[in-house]
């Protein structure tokens, strides 16, 4: 069964498995003890730290192993903010950061801090000038991912790091998605990553704090990992994480070329094979294995289930696939279509034949989902050149389907007023207008929900 969700968790690399099994025999003792078994465990831990530091491009004593990438982010953000409390209580993040960064920002805000969220364009990339404009005399920390986890867009980290360095502000980089492909360039100050993203075992994160960065550990700590990750180290997993990082880096250059060709093929052929599709993310500055697209008039959850039935494991940022019924914050920030969203993230070693079979299966799956949803007869009232579509209580993608069905019933220059109480409509109706060459006029408060105004141009 082709597994196309490596951005969530990459399959365990063979080297990670071998190292894990070997370390279970030799790395079970307490590395802080001075007897033989402890010394052997300490040697394994030190070697793993040296290997991971070499891969990151930092000193071994700057790198801490944490219980997860999320824990690394939380510890890094809180520690850096606390260390620079005298400078101020202002934090900068991008609108498309991983939820672990945004949740850390929320906590900081509830504790009285100020948070500036830098917007992105339709490709998902930030503008360096936007970070520069967000900097203030009281800015304590800035955060920027190296590459986006949902659409694969690579961020201008080196340029933003230089802007921050000039202002004397440390930059924390979430490198979870990119570290397996190479070092993060530029003068960043803190870095986090997660082993299960590059084929290591789950439960191992990296936190790097450069020398000279003011940092104050928050919460209870002990003598382990410089006090930044208290508790007994999961040494076998740490050894496996470091070994697999070295292994995937050795394969990265050649594998990146192959995966880029496969994802480029998907980006080009999906719109050719399926009507009403928007491929999102930067077409050039992107990670090798991620490609994301959204399909109009499709329920994202149903689409994922149908692809699973055909043997393909993919993920989605559609609101229909989440318990909150709100679209992905990444797609929302980009202003792109969210309904029927599919993220394909190819793991190393993906066979060309599996990609070809995915492309062969996808059109029929999408057509089947659209047919299953049907074309609901909208509740519409005609008032001269305006049609009111009542989609209250209906979830994605029904409001857009009903809009598409009635747009032809008004004359050119006429208007459709779509009533909806689904948060996804705020994103998907403007995206539909851009795709179909119609004019989105904005939204108005309605007696119930929101009225979205669309003027017919053609």
The catalytic site residues sit at 320
* 200 within 8 A of 241, measured Cβ to Cβ: yes
Angle at 348 between CA 343 and CA 354, to 5 degrees: 65
Give the number of C-alpha atoms closer than 13 A to the C-alpha of residue 140, restricted to the C-beta side.
24
Task: Return the closest-CA partner of residue 397 out of 431, 419, 428.
Answer: 428
Q: Where are the beta strands (DSSP E) in 34-79?
A: 63-66
Using CB atoms within 10 Å of the CB of residue 132, give its burial: 0 to 12 exposed, 13 to 18 middle, 19+ buried.
middle
Is beta strand 386-390 parallel, antiparallel or unpaired with respect to 290-295? unpaired
| CA 48 – CA 40 distance, rounded (Å) | 13
Structure tokens at 378: 């909208």
| CA 151 – CA 7 distance, rounded (Å) | 10
- Phi, psi dihedral angles at 90 (to 5 degrees): -125, 130
* 345 within 8 A of 4, measured Cβ to Cβ: yes
Residue with tokens 């994480």: 241
Task: Return the closest-CA partner of residue 278 out of 359, 329, 371, 340.
Answer: 340
């Amino acid at each position: 069964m082709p597994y196309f969700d490596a951005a969530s968790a990459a399959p365990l690399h063979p080297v990670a498995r071998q190292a894990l099994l070997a370390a279970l025999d030799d790395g079970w003792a307490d590395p802080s003890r001075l007897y033989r078994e402890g010394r052997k465990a300490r040697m394994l831990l030190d070697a793993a730290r040296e290997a991971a530091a070499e891969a990151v491009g930092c000193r071994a004593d700057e790198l801490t192993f944490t219980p997860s990438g999320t824990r690394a982010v939380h510890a890094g953000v809180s520690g850096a903010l606390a260390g620079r409390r005298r400078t101020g209580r202002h934090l900068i993040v991008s609108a498309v950061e991983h939820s672990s960064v945004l949740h850390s920002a929320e906590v900081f805000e509830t504790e009285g801090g100020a948070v500036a969220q830098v917007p992105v364009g339709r490709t998902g990339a930030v503008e360096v000038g936007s970070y520069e404009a967000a900097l203030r005399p009281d800015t304590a920390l800035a955060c920027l991912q190296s590459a986006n986890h949902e659409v694969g867009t690579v961020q201008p980290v080196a340029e933003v790091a230089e802007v921050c360095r000039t202002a004397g502000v440390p930059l924390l980089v979430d490198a979870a998605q990119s570290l397996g492909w190479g070092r993060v360039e530029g003068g960043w100050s803190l870095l986090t990553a997660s082993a299960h993203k590059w084929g290591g075992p789950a439960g191992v994160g990296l936190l790097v704090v450069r020398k000279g960065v003011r940092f104050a550990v928050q919460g209870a700590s002990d003598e382990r990992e410089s006090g930044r990750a208290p508790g007994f180290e999961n040494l076998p997993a740490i050894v496996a994480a470091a070994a697999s990082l070295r292994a995937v880096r050795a394969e990265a250059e050649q594998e990146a070329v192959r995966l880029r060709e496969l994802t480029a093929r998907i980006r080009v052929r999906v719109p050719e094979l399926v009507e009403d599709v928007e491929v999102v993310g930067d077409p050039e500055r992107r990670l090798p294995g991620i490609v994301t697209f959204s399909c109009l008039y499709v329920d994202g959850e149903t689409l994922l289930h149908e692809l699973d039935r055909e043997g393909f494991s993919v993920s989605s940022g559609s609101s229909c696939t989440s318990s909150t019924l709100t679209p992905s914050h990444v797609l929302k920030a980009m202003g792109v279509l969210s309904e029927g969203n599919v993220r394909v993230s190819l793991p190393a070693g993906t066979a060309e034949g599996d990609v070809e079979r995915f492309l062969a299966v996808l059109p029929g799956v999408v057509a089947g989902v659209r047919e299953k949803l049907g074309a609901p007869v909208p509740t519409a009232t005609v008032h001269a050149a305006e049609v009111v579509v009542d989609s209250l209580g209906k979830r994605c993608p029904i409001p857009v389907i009903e809009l598409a069905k009635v747009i032809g019933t008004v004359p050119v220059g006429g208007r459709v007023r779509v009533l909806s109480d689904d948060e996804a409509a705020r994103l998907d109706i403007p995206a539909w207008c851009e795709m179909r060459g119609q004019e989105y006029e904005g939204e108005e408060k309605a007696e119930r929900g929101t009225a979205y105004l669309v003027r017919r141009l053609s």
